[in-house]
Structure 1
């Protein structure tokens, strides 16, 4: 089992506050010879439909050597997880959960936005201290 990120509980609580039901903690991604773990899976029922929204959330903190180094790592992990989810559970969308400060200070850079858009990263921006989802970026 992977170690939980320092923001794990804050993101989990933010999802619950927003009406999501946590369905896996962690979420096992298994395909052929690969066995990986994303941080969370959640489902949000929609009253008017029989099927609700389903998401997998990978939580990332940016406290490594540099923000760009952490971004490289997060992007690579995101791409691997997204492909495995497409192959094994295509009803799920993968979101990268980041804190609002990193979003404002780093993800607003032109170079990062180009890469984020080109790779179609889905972001969940969370205010960690209040445990609130501030923004979903699709």
Structure 2
């Protein structure tokens, strides 16, 4: 079983407060001979519709010596999960969840923004102190 990131519980609680239902914690993705775990799978029924939206969330704390190394690791893991997910659950969209502090301090740097724009990385930004969703970036 994978180890939970430091902000895992805060992200989970923020999503629950935002009306999402946690279906899997963690979410197992099996593709051929690969068996990996994303942090969460969540669902929400859209207001006024009977369509249920499902998302998979990979949570990253970005704690460590090098922010760029953390980005390298997160992007590699994200891409791997995204590729497998497209094969086994193509309707589930994958998001990378980070704290509002990490987003403000790291994800607004030019070295990060150029990569985020190029990769079109979907982000979930969470205020981990208040345990609230700050924004979804598609």
TM range (shorter): over 0.9
Tell me the alpha carbon deviations over residues 51-103 of structure 1, each in whole angstroms, 9 at most, x when there is no partner.
Answer: 22110000001112211110110011001111111111011110100001110
Structure 2 unaligned segments of length 5 or more: list them.
Answer: none
**C-alpha distance in 1, partners of 2:59/2:75?**
12
1:126 is paired with a residue of what secondary structure? strand
TM-score (norm 2): 0.96
Determine the C-alpha separation between the residues in 2 that align with 1:110 and 1:65: 19
Aligned partner of 2:40 in structure 1 is 40
Shift of 1:112: 1.0
Paired residues for 1:44-63 under 5 Å: 44-63=44-63
What's the secondary structure of 2:107's corresponding residue? coil
Match of 2:94 in 1: 94
Secondary structure at the aligned position of 1:64 is classed as: coil
**Residues 1-138 of structure 1 mapped to structure 2, 5 A cutoff:** 1-138=1-138
> How many equivalent pairs are there?
138
Q: CA RMSD in A?
A: 0.9
Q: TM-score, normalised by structure 1?
A: 0.96
Runs of 4+ in 1 over 2 A off after TM superposition: 47-50
Gaps of 5+ in 1: none
